[in-house]
Structure 1
Amino acid sequence: MSTDQRVKVAARTGKQFLEGLASQKREIWLDGEKITNPLEHEQLALAAKSMARIYDFQHEHASDLLASSPDDGSLVNATHIIPRSREDLIRRRKAIEMTAALSGGTMGRTPDYLNVTFACFAGRSDVWARRNNETGAANIVNYQKIMRDRDLSTTHALMNPQVDRSKPEAEQAMGEVSLHKVGETDDSIIVRGARMLATLATYADELTVYPGSDLRTVDKPYALSFALPVGTPGLKFVCRGTYAKTKDPFDYPLSHRFDEMDAMVIFDDVEVPKDRVFLDGDTVGYSEVITDTGWRGHIMHQAFTRAYVKLSFAFGLGHVIANATGVVKFDHIQEKLGQMWNMVELTRSAITAAEAGATPDEQGVWCPDDRPFLALRGEMPKWMPKANELLQLIGGGGFMLTPSRADVNGPLKEDIAKYFQAAGADAERRIRLFRLAWDFVGSELGGRGELYERFYLSDSWRMTSLAYKIANKDFATSLVEQFLKD
């Protein structure tokens, strides 16, 4: 497939993405400064360029990353497509993998994440329509088409702030902190409160809100799902400190490009148009749209494909470092590299198994077999930090011997060329390699990445416990029971 001008191309270019980012004024707060255009902020502008690269990339690899819209045949990003066959799932996974490879898997919330989510929701609009919510269901179908045809970059805020997790949402801080409905007009609902964790908010066109935790049946004001432009009056994004480095990318090859930013979203009596509301007060539906739409399997298909790329990147770093410094000859280093490869291969195998076991649901949407993903969901938060630890052990003190480009090209460049060389690399390559690896495991961005991997799919112990609870135990139990009879 090519982006032939005779075929309508809905997928945006990087230039169009940046123009869209600049055209919508938003209220971003970073280090006490109000920012309305991230492109005008020196540090925020860096990741915007990386996002633009993602949009350009889909045109450069159109045969893999673009697909025909089911409505009018225009070319859209393949991750927007509602999968109607196993081949659709495989194609979607390839598109996710290629996108993740641009950042080595370090950007966890590129647009494909929510593309997959809303394709899943729209494909099972019947679940959203329960209990007389046909209007909300129609709204989510329409919104998914808007996302697809405008090729939006979207962020999401699922969780309420951490005030007192021992209490229900409505009882934390007198019920005023968590996002909730406070009023209604003829054409909108009015919401107040806060939500987190809006990763990619500074580079998004729209903010989406959908269920992130269970609610009590009495907590109707908190049972909300909707979507809004990020420039909507009353929306405020309070960012953590930036980890983006404006120095030479030689010195910070990842931090210079890939800080996707995280933010708390404050809703200051925000008006949400009713045609953008998907759920309003249905506490039962608040749970069902997550459990009954197949969302879990679909989003883990995206998440673990991205994780596979990141683990592969970590393994690649370990392999190249070990060969550059000669330690690859040592069996204990080979064992560490073998552990990393095991993680990569088990992740790849789980993705393949999930696709092979995929089946269509009652609406004809093909869903990955989520059993391999449920097993990974408890292990991945452990594997990612373990991969970082193994990299540190493979690189050792070399991580502390990383002069900057200014040194490499400075008055001592001859000394640096002599004393920083490695068995399998000249000094510049060795320094580049170790700076890259340190940016991955030890910089502020690397530390944020490790924390992200620990918790973005909830914590490991809860997911491992859930895997046991929902596991089919019939065969395992039958093996035991056969020996407990006369």
Structure 2
Amino acid sequence: MASMSTERATGARTGEQFLDGLRAGGREIWLRGEKIANPLDHPDLHDAALSMARVFDVQHEHAGEMLVPSPADPSLPINVTHVVPRTPEDLVRRRRAIEIVAALSGGTMGRTPDYLNVTFACFAGRADVWARRGNEQGAANLVAYQEYMRDHDLSTTHALMNPQVDRRQAEADQAMGKVALHKVDETDGAIVVRGARMLATLAPFADELLVYPGSDIRPQDGRYALAFAIPIATPGLKFICRDSYSRARDPYDYPLSSRFDEMDAVVIFDDVEIPKERVFLDGDTDGYSEVITDTGWRGHIMHQAFTRAWTKLNFALGLGHMIANATGVVRFDHIQEKLGQVWNMVELSRSALVAAEAGAQVDEGGVCCPDERPFVALRGEMPKWLPRANEYLQLIGGGGYMATPSRADLDGPLREDIDLYFQSAGADAERRIRLFRLAWDFVGSELGGRGELYERFYLSDSWRMTALAYTIADKTLPEALVEQFLED
């Protein structure tokens, strides 16, 4: 493993530079029993890798909005999502960069690199939190790593949760403590870790894996309190993927799943050595909670997540609007009501983003943090809204989703019949077919089903978040409004 200090910085990478990183190989990615070293060599991963390359190219196409000089070297352009925000204007500019990336996939890719760029910029901005209780070296390691991540424009994945074997027990007690990721040894230059973590979305297309707190931990479980970063191509590191939803499908028939299956994987650590320069937290169970609660992480990561979700809701609205107009059902008031409901979701999400930026405050570490209150509300509602938007799309499209031929049919001998019998009031047969296939890939394909499950749970389940919103809400004004009528 090359030292971070010896690698020459690239600044904002191009798509080809990103693909060169994948071609270096050395990974242990497992998909349906097959070991894959380079995702570009596998038909089920190849096209998603090319879509990720577009994420890197687009930052150069929108350089004025997405790139700024590196604090370490003004001649080196970096992506604005790597920047520690100091003003509300920094937050607005960061949001715009996130919007541009999310638009590439209609918001269907939830773990593009900007997610962890934002996370580690916020962590580095509050290195003082990481340095508590004598962890100054771990904090310095984190700051150095964030600079490396920023100036080399890494594609990263993370794995926050331990596999849940028996939820009746604490994670460290499940399966006799052997499953959850934990430290098993230490040398002069490294710690050795064993166990598993989930869910590493984007793993086949990442340069590095980031591990940091994702759940509560008990005081006695210090060997499970870890945070670090390592290259994907590290000996002993294995990624077991779910089924691919692309399988080299024709983009005409599956315009989303053929290109934007970001993949999910369980990570197995088989006595993996983590160089101490890449360890950020080791054994501090108090710090394990504090680096999430006291760094402003929740507000920053929800800023990224809800910008992406807002884009996806816009995409859903566009699909419903265009299907309704193509088939003529837009004239029915119950269809207009459904489209209006999706628009409400879009507008309330936008309003929350604007409110969070307008209410931003600079914290004691000098980091400008979005107002979390609108995001806490959205955190309970968004997992309900996106599945509901899918339901509305199903109701608007109806049986048309099940009466849509493939590209092979269009290219076959029945083209004349297809042109006649699949036309619609607002589109010719081919446009209607493409529109319905796109919408079905969004709501009904394997990718669509995975996307709905992802939206329901990636920020925790909505009932817990809605309950949390109530418990942390400032109730001073509501109580005062009632109290005035209870006094003599």
TM-score above 0.5: yes
* Alpha-carbon distance between aligned partners in 2 of 1:195 and 1:41, rounded to the nearest angstrom: 24
Query: Does structure 2 retain, via aligned residues, the 8 Å contact 1:122–1:144?
Result: yes
Query: Does structure 2 retain, via aligned residues, the 8 Å contact 1:209–1:224?
Result: yes
Total equivalences in the alignment: 479
* Alpha-carbon distance between aligned partners in 1 of 2:248 and 2:205, rounded to the nearest angstrom: 18
Q: Where does residue 257 of structure 2 map in the other structure?
A: 255
* Alpha-carbon distance between aligned partners in 2 of 1:144 and 1:24, rounded to the nearest angstrom: 23
* Alpha-carbon distance between aligned partners in 2 of 1:71 and 1:465, rounded to the nearest angstrom: 43
Q: Quote how far apart the aligned CAs of 1:262 are.
A: 0.2
Q: Where does residue 47 of structure 1 map in the other structure?
A: 48
Q: Which amino acid aligns with 1:469?
A: T
Query: Does structure 2 retain, via aligned residues, the 8 Å contact 1:18–1:52?
Result: yes
Instruction: Spell out the pairing of 1:185-334 with structure 2 (5 A cutoff).
Output: 185-334=187-336
Sequence identity of aligned pairs in percent? 75
* Alpha-carbon distance between aligned partners in 2 of 1:352 and 1:247, rounded to the nearest angstrom: 39
Q: Where does residue 412 of structure 1 map in the other structure?
A: 414
* Alpha-carbon distance between aligned partners in 2 of 1:214 and 1:109, rounded to the nearest angstrom: 23
* Alpha-carbon distance between aligned partners in 1 of 2:25 and 2:185, rounded to the nearest angstrom: 26
Q: Where does residue 462 of structure 1 map in the other structure?
A: 464
Q: Where does residue 62 of structure 2 map in the other structure?
A: 61
* Alpha-carbon distance between aligned partners in 1 of 2:167 and 2:79, rounded to the nearest angstrom: 38
Query: Does structure 1 retain, via aligned residues, the 8 Å contact 2:10–2:153?
Result: no
* Alpha-carbon distance between aligned partners in 2 of 1:50 and 1:59, rounded to the nearest angstrom: 15
* Alpha-carbon distance between aligned partners in 2 of 1:270 and 1:71, rounded to the nearest angstrom: 31
Q: What secondary structure, in the 3-state scheme, does the structure 1 residue paired with 2:20 have? A: helix
**Aligned Cα root-mean-square deviation (Å):** 0.8
Q: Where does residue 443 of structure 1 map in the other structure?
A: 445
Q: Which amino acid aligns with 1:418?
A: L
* Alpha-carbon distance between aligned partners in 1 of 2:176 and 2:307, rounded to the nearest angstrom: 41
Q: Where does residue 429 of structure 2 map in the other structure?
A: 427
Q: Quote how far apart the aligned CAs of 1:275 are.
A: 0.4
* Alpha-carbon distance between aligned partners in 2 of 1:245 and 1:310, rounded to the nearest angstrom: 24
Q: What secondary structure, in the 3-state scheme, does the structure 1 residue paired with 2:40 have? A: helix
* Alpha-carbon distance between aligned partners in 2 of 1:351 and 1:166, rounded to the nearest angstrom: 38
Instruction: Spell out the pairing of 1:120-135 with structure 2 (5 A cutoff).
Output: 120-135=122-137
Please, which of 165, 174, 177 is the counterpart of residue 175 of structure 1? 177
Q: Which amino acid aligns with 1:28?
A: I
Q: What secondary structure, in the 3-state scheme, does the structure 2 residue paired with 1:228 have? A: strand
Query: Does structure 1 retain, via aligned residues, the 8 Å contact 2:10–2:152?
Result: no
Which structure 1 residue ranges, 4+ long, deviate > 4 Å from structure 2? none
* Alpha-carbon distance between aligned partners in 1 of 2:451 and 2:161, rounded to the nearest angstrom: 19
Q: Which amino acid aligns with 1:16?
A: Q
Deviations 1:341-367 (A, max 9, x none): 000000000000000000101121100
Q: Quote how far apart the aligned CAs of 1:245 are.
A: 3.7
Query: Does structure 2 retain, via aligned residues, the 8 Å contact 1:200–1:260?
Result: yes
Q: Where does residue 3 of structure 1 map in the other structure?
A: none
Q: What secondary structure, in the 3-state scheme, does the structure 2 residue paired with 1:378 have? A: helix
* Alpha-carbon distance between aligned partners in 2 of 1:309 and 1:98, rounded to the nearest angstrom: 9
TM-score between the two structures when normalised by the length of structure 1: 0.98
Q: What secondary structure, in the 3-state scheme, does the structure 2 residue paired with 1:226 have? A: strand
Query: Does structure 2 retain, via aligned residues, the 8 Å contact 1:180–1:221?
Result: yes
Query: Does structure 1 retain, via aligned residues, the 8 Å contact 2:138–2:279?
Result: yes
Q: Quote how far apart the aligned CAs of 1:248 are.
A: 1.7
Q: Quote how far apart the aligned CAs of 1:112 are.
A: 0.2
Query: Does structure 2 retain, via aligned residues, the 8 Å contact 1:117–1:298?
Result: yes
Deviations 1:150-208 (A, max 9, x none): 00000000000021122112110100000000010001000000000000000000000
Unaligned 5+ runs, structure 2? 1-8
Instruction: Spell out the pairing of 1:3-18 with structure 2 (5 A cutoff).
Output: 10-18=11-19
Q: Where does residue 6 of structure 2 map in the other structure?
A: none
Q: What secondary structure, in the 3-state scheme, does the structure 2 residue paired with 1:197 have? A: coil
Q: Where does residue 3 of structure 2 map in the other structure?
A: none
Q: What secondary structure, in the 3-state scheme, does the structure 2 residue paired with 1:131 have? A: helix
* Alpha-carbon distance between aligned partners in 2 of 1:71 and 1:37, rounded to the nearest angstrom: 32
* Alpha-carbon distance between aligned partners in 2 of 1:406 and 1:219, rounded to the nearest angstrom: 57
Deviations 1:361-405 (A, max 9, x none): 112110000000000000000001000000000000100111011
Deviations 1:460-486 (A, max 9, x none): 111111111111111111111111111
Q: Where does residue 71 of structure 1 map in the other structure?
A: 72
Query: Does structure 1 retain, via aligned residues, the 8 Å contact 2:164–2:171?
Result: no
Q: Quote how far apart the aligned CAs of 1:24 are.
A: 3.4
Q: What secondary structure, in the 3-state scheme, does the structure 2 residue paired with 1:238 have? A: strand
Q: Quote how far apart the aligned CAs of 1:9 are.
A: 6.4
Q: What secondary structure, in the 3-state scheme, does the structure 1 residue paired with 2:132 have? A: coil
Query: Does structure 1 retain, via aligned residues, the 8 Å contact 2:84–2:367?
Result: yes
Deviations 1:291-341 (A, max 9, x none): 000000000000000000000000000000000000000000000000000
Query: Does structure 2 retain, via aligned residues, the 8 Å contact 1:170–1:222?
Result: yes
Deviations 1:249-288 (A, max 9, x none): 1100001100000000000000000000000000000000
Query: Does structure 1 retain, via aligned residues, the 8 Å contact 2:99–2:307?
Result: yes
Q: Which amino acid aligns with 2:49?
A: A
Q: Quote how far apart the aligned CAs of 1:27 are.
A: 0.4
Query: Does structure 2 retain, via aligned residues, the 8 Å contact 1:245–1:252?
Result: no
* Alpha-carbon distance between aligned partners in 1 of 2:471 and 2:417, rounded to the nearest angstrom: 61
